[in-house]
Structure 1
């Protein structure tokens, strides 16, 4: 029995019968994301037939406002040409520190009521994020705990660092549909911010690009968003590995990333968002026995294209003073000492994460999927803590100087198995940074409108 038919038989849907044919107009797979800023929310959902219009009714305490959006026909690249309609509506200029209720759909069928809370417009706001990668439709072990904590109001947003469903295109994209229904109990209530992983590659990442709505448009692999004191940059590490789609995406992303880092480092911007955080799927360093990355000394994300060593990320992120780097892909959790070019640059022996002299990195790819866990091999001197328990990471930004991170083990019933404070009295380029000052000056003038 297909996933689509099973869903029809087990979930109440709105149906029309015309000439004996069944039409599926009911909204499903509802999820939200930030738009251009945190007071703009994009609501995305699917139907299996064209509803002619896409509407969200919403308000603070009641459905008093109405916003219309667009829909797009998405045909999966598989043999069955699985077709659905992806609807997007953007809610702009939302009131800070307010709880909105909403439902989405059309006159042919409406979703259940959902709610989300906007951030306060205060400099002392302390955003709390849940972070993980590599969650599948099968064996999504961390999902129940994340659902519970979402409903308790523990988080302000989710960062899903690549690899969804295993895979979104499986069974002619029906596994993708099932996975999007699974995460609705999180993603319909919290901005669900994503980046692509290697498991999204099929048909040129089309299932990822069409299903998720990120800043800079649904077709973009890269974006940045300011969340309180955090400037979060999302990139695709896959442009280094799937060169069959051409080198242009890699070059364009590198140029865009450098421009974004320069803007983030302008004094007026870094004062408001002192913490620069980059997330991408494949790590630069790892020490488990995954032979496609961890056994390679020079990962492509770190040093750049094979043979030529162009467009490597490590130098770029170091030169522009990135504070924290978040990766996944490895089905384990690993926290590193502050590191650059395989050299540890701890703040001090007693307090390694207080004013570190290089970016701090961790990998969190153990949310749970059908491929199971990755086992660890030898422990290198740059690896600080490792766990292959299923679980996820929490990050809380307390202020401009203190971040707190902790790793939750679902195997151990929610026990925190690792935690640390990242403390920085000042933010900016590291001691050996080599910034492109000509480009910095050019972007500064452009930013100032000169």
Structure 2
């Protein structure tokens, strides 16, 4: 479960909007954030049970060389995949500008799949998914289906993600599915939470909030 203060940092918009704005929310204390969820977050679509994926494999990779292509095969599978590390921080090639995919509110529709294939054809060095990935709204099986739909892109292009309101639902599922599937480089960037991180590649400095 997300700590009160971390949720409050997301819900409290008083530093971002004037008090007359519709989206203005100011909290007197962190635990008030839970009473504000209905304004921007959603209830679980599966209130009778909590689903757990059979297998979620996570492997930390260290010492990878920027710009180098790697071939890998998941344990227990005969399939192989390739990905290329983004260029080194601070590097620039005027003959080969850096190409990054930026995508939000992805969903799981025919349009989502078509956009995914289009992004893959662009051959970006990395992709940023900035909230509302699969619209599971607390129904965990949709995360597995989303992963299968996005496999061609996510298996070959490095991704960084942040949460949106559809990743947080009331009950016992606050961002749990996202946290277990899409890890962030928060420790490497000296952050104290997976919900906030930084990452540098080429001339780009990414701040995830």
TM-score by length of 1: 0.31
Do the aligned partners of 1:168 and 1:208 also contact (CA within 8 Å) in 2? Answer: no
Q: Which has the higher strand share?
A: 1
- 1:141/1:149 Cα in 2 relative to 1: closer, same or farther (>3 Å)? same
1:136 aligns to what?
107
2:167 aligns to what?
200
**3-state SS of paired residue (2:174):** helix
Do the aligned partners of 1:133 and 1:161 also contact (CA within 8 Å) in 2? Answer: yes
1:82 aligns to what?
51
The aligned length equals: 151
Q: CA–CA distance in 2 between the matches of 1:220 and 1:226?
A: 16
- 1:239-258 to structure 2, matched below 5 A, reads none
Do the aligned partners of 1:168 and 1:177 also contact (CA within 8 Å) in 2? Answer: no
**3-state SS of paired residue (1:90):** coil
1:183 aligns to what?
150
Q: CA–CA distance in 2 between the matches of 1:230 and 1:140?
A: 31
Do the aligned partners of 1:168 and 1:207 also contact (CA within 8 Å) in 2? Answer: no
Matched, 1:233 2:202: no
1:222 aligns to what?
196
Q: How many angstroms does 1:147 deviate by?
A: 2.0
1:161 aligns to what?
130
- Using CA pairs under 8 Å that are at least 6 residues apart, name the structure with larger relative contact order, 1 or 2: 2
Do the aligned partners of 2:116 and 2:150 also contact (CA within 8 Å) in 1? Answer: no
2:91 aligns to what?
123
- 1:153/1:174 Cα in 2 relative to 1: closer, same or farther (>3 Å)? same
- 1:115/1:78 Cα in 2 relative to 1: closer, same or farther (>3 Å)? farther
**3-state SS of paired residue (1:96):** coil
Q: Between Structure 1 and Structure 2, whose CA radius of gyration is higher?
A: 1
Do the aligned partners of 1:136 and 1:166 also contact (CA within 8 Å) in 2? Answer: yes
- 1:140/1:221 Cα in 2 relative to 1: closer, same or farther (>3 Å)? farther
Structure 2's unaligned 5+ residue stretches are: 1-45, 188-192
Do the aligned partners of 2:132 and 2:167 also contact (CA within 8 Å) in 1? Answer: yes
- 1:82/1:93 Cα in 2 relative to 1: closer, same or farther (>3 Å)? same
- 1:174/1:142 Cα in 2 relative to 1: closer, same or farther (>3 Å)? closer
How big is each residue's C-alpha offset from its partner over 1:220-245, in whole Å with a ceiling of 9 and x where there is no partner?
1110000111111010xxxxxxxxxx
TM-score by length of 2: 0.64
**3-state SS of paired residue (1:184):** helix
- 1:140/1:198 Cα in 2 relative to 1: closer, same or farther (>3 Å)? farther
Alpha-carbon RMSD across the aligned residues, in angstroms, is 2.2
- 1:131/1:116 Cα in 2 relative to 1: closer, same or farther (>3 Å)? same
- 1:120/1:136 Cα in 2 relative to 1: closer, same or farther (>3 Å)? closer
Do the aligned partners of 2:81 and 2:156 also contact (CA within 8 Å) in 1? Answer: yes
Q: CA–CA distance in 1 between the matches of 2:152 and 2:117?
A: 6
2:79 aligns to what?
112
Structure 1's unaligned 5+ residue stretches are: 1-76, 236-450
